[in-house]
Amino acid sequence: MKAVCLLVVFILARILILAGRDIPMSPWTPFVYLWQDLLVVLMFAALNYLFRRRTRIGWTMYGLITLYTAVNVPITCVLSTPLTWPLIRATRGALADSIAYHVTIGNILRINLVLAAGLLLPLLLRRLLENVRPRTILLGVLAALVCLPLGWLGSTRIETLGLHRNVLTVLVTTALPRIASQNDPGDWRRSPFGSPRAEDLSSFRGAAYGRNVVVVHLESTGARYLHSYGAAENPMPHLTEMTQQAILFENAYTTYPETIRSFFATQCGRFPAMDTEPEAYAHVSGPALAAVLSGAGYRTGLFHSGRFMYLGMESVIRGQGYQTLEDASDIGGDHESSFGIDEPSTVRRILRWIDAGPGDRPFLVSYLPIAGHHPYETPEAGPFSNDREIDCYRNALHYSDAALGQLIEGLRRRGLYDKTLFVIFGDHGEAFGQHPGNYGHTLFVHEENIRVPYMIAAPGLIYEPIRVHRVASLVDTFPTILDLLGYSIPDGYQGRSLLNGQTNLALFCTDYSLGFLGLRDERWKAIYQIESNQTQLYDLENDPDEMRDLAGRFPERVETYRNHLQHWAAAQKYLITAPRN
C-alpha cells in the first residue's frame, strides 16, 4: 500500500511541476516522465518488504520521501530542477534572501498539497488495497519494469530539460562524476575548422606599462541588458560612457555561469572543469595575475562586497598573490544583506587602501561587487519600475554602476585616473525566461547565461570606441593584462592575449543540475547535454537568440564539436584534479 501511495504522491508532484509548461508530445512522453518515479517506487517497495515486520521503518521512509518531494516541488517550479548536490552545497546562509523571496503563498500551497496527499492517501486507499490479489501486484510490477527501459530510451529522444527526473535519483546522479578524467594535452582553443585572424590590437602591446590596474568583476551582468550592447535601456550609464574611449568586445563569454569558477578563470588563466569543487582549484600550479604583478612590484588588493565563505570561495582566492584580501566581514557596511554589504562601502575601502600605500608603487585592485545578484534588492531606489523582476535587476545594475562611478571619480580626484588600466566585465549573465525554465544564471549555457560585457579602458591611450567582433573569453584576461603592461606571458596558460588578433574558441560548461558543455566558434555555437547525449547547434549571426536548432542540418559539424567538447572536458578535469608532485 505504501508504494502505491508514494507513486500517487510522485504523480501529483509531477503534475504541479509541469502545469503551464510546454511538454514535448510524443509516444515516448508518458514513459519518460514516469520511469524514474517508478524506479524509486520499486526500490522503496523492495525495502519496505525487507522491513515488513518493522512497519515503523517503512512509514518513516515513506514520510521522509514525501516531505522531501513536497519541498522540491516549488524549487523545481522556480529553478526547473529539483535539488542537486551542487545546489544543496550552494543553499546556505549567503542565499537566505533569495530563498525568502520565493516563500510565497503559491509555493506554500504546493508544498502543503503534496504533504496532505501523502498523509491522506494511506487512509483513503487502505480498504481499496487490502484485497488486492498477489497476481494483480505482480502484473503491476511487470508493467513498471517494462516502463523503465522505455522511459530511459525515450529520455534520449525528447528534450525534458531534466524535468523527468525523480527528486531522489537526481541526488544520486549529480553526486556521481559525469566526465572521466583524461590526460590529453591539446590546443582546445583552436577551432577544428580553422582559426583565422581578425581584428589586430597588437599596437597596444606594452602601451599601459607602469599603469595601475583595476579589474572589476561585475556581478550577474549580461551583455544583452546594456545599452552598449544594443539594449534600449541604459542601466549602467557610467560604463556606457567609458566605452566611448575603450576597447569593447562584442562576443565575450564567461567560462562557467558562476562567480567563483569565473574568478578562477579570469585571475588564473585556466578553465574550470566539470565535477569539481572549489577546493580543487587551490592546488592548480602556476602563478595567478596578482602573484605575477606582485613580483613586478605592484601592491595587490582584492575587495569583495560579498563573503569569501560562500561556496568555498576562500580556497580559490587564497594563495593567488593578493597582499590584501577583504570581504564584507572585513569592510563592514552601511547596509547588509545575507549576501554581503552595500557597494559604496566597498568603494570607500578601496580608496582608503590606495591612499594608505606608497605613491611611487603601482597597484592592482580587483573589485567584486554583489549588486546584480538575485533578489535584486538595493538600498536606494533606481530609475526603473519595480513592477517586473527584470526592472528590479536593471535597478541593481544601475546601483552597481553608481558605485563604479564613485570609484572612477575617486581615482580622478587623486590624479590616478589617467594612470590606470581598467578591465571591466561581467562574471556571468542572468536569465529571465528567454528559454524555457531558464532563470538566474547557473543552470544553463544559453547566451543570456554566459555572454558578458567586456571592455578595456586606458584613459590617454584609447581615444575612441573600438568594437571587436571576434570571440573572447574571460580566461583571456590574465594574459591580456600582462600583454598590455608589457610583461611576458608565462607558458602553460589556456588564456590567450586578446591583442594578438587570433580567433579562438570560447569554451564553457555548467554542472549544477544537468551537465552542459558548450563552445562558440565564430558564428557557430554548440551546446552538448551530457545526460541525453544531445547537441544543439546555432548560427548566432542569423539567430542571436538561439531559437533555431540547426543540428539536424549540419550533422558533421555537430559530431566534430561534440567530440571536441568531450575531449576538452576530460582533459580539463585531469588538469584540475590530477595529483601534484
Same domain, 83 and 217: no
Domain of residue 65, residue span: 2-175
- Give the Cα separation of 295 and 311 in Å (integer): 29
Same domain, 335 and 458: yes
Contact 318, 325 (CB under 8 A): yes
For residue 181, tell me if it sits in a domain: no
Closest by CA to 515, choosing from 533, 539, 537, is 533
Average pLDDT over residues 383-387: 90
Same domain, 221 and 144: no
Higher pLDDT pick, 533 / 90: 533
Cβ-based neighbours of 351, under 8 Å, separated by 6 or more: 407, 410, 411, 414
Q: Where does a domain end: 513, 535, 567?
A: 513
Closest by CA to 94, choosing from 332, 340, 372, is 340
Strands (DSSP E) found in 476-557: 506-510, 516-521, 524-529, 534-539
Any idea which residue has 542540418 for its cell? 553
SS3 57: helix
For residue 337, tell me if it sits in a domain: yes
For residue 161, tell me if it sits in a domain: yes
Same domain, 61 and 11: yes
Any idea which residue has 509531477 for its cell? 14
Residue 581 has pLDDT above 70, yes or no: no
Q: Which three cell numbers mark 416?
A: 590616478
Same domain, 140 and 235: no
CA distances, 458 to each of 214, 464, 489, 575 (Å)? 10, 11, 20, 34
Per this entry, what is the length of the chain?
A: 581
- Residue 78's H or E segment, with its range, is helix 55-79
Q: What are phi and psi of 333, to 5 degrees?
A: -150, 165
Residue 552 has pLDDT above 70, yes or no: yes
pLDDT (tens digit, 9 = 90+) per residue, 238-294? 999 999 999 999 999 999 999 999 999 999 999 999 999 888 888 887 889 999 999
Instruction: For residue 444, give the DSSP letter.
Output: -
Closest by CA to 301, choosing from 257, 256, 361, is 361
- Give the Cα separation of 93 and 444 in Å (integer): 24
pLDDT at 130: 64
Q: Where does a domain end: 479, 513, 547?
A: 513
Same domain, 368 and 508: yes
Same domain, 347 and 441: yes
Same domain, 233 and 274: yes
- Give the Cα separation of 252 and 469 in Å (integer): 9
Residue 412 has pLDDT above 90, yes or no: yes
Contact 111, 74 (CB under 8 A): yes
- Give the Cα separation of 455 and 246 in Å (integer): 6
pLDDT (tens digit, 9 = 90+) per residue, 348-369? 999 999 999 898 899 999 999 9
For residue 156, tell me if it sits in a domain: yes
For residue 194, tell me if it sits in a domain: no
Count structural domains, the chain. 2
Same domain, 19 and 112: yes
* Letter string b/e over residues 342-363, b meaning 16 or more CB atoms within 10 A of that residue's CB: bbbbbbbbbbebbeeeeeeebb
Residue 442 has pLDDT above 60, yes or no: yes
Same domain, 250 and 159: no
For residue 567, tell me if it sits in a domain: no
Same domain, 164 and 210: no
pLDDT at 94: 59
- Comparing 140-149, 347-356, 369-378, 391-400, the range with the smallest average pLDDT is 140-149
Same domain, 428 and 491: yes
For residue 270, tell me if it sits in a domain: yes
CA-based radius of gyration for the chain: 26
Average pLDDT over residues 35-42: 93
For residue 576, tell me if it sits in a domain: no
pLDDT at 255: 98
- Give the Cα separation of 234 and 191 in Å (integer): 35
- CATH code of 232's domain: 3.40.720.10
Q: Where does a domain end: 451, 478, 513?
A: 513
- Give the Cα separation of 537 and 518 in Å (integer): 10
Task: Fill in the amino acid letter for 351.
Answer: L
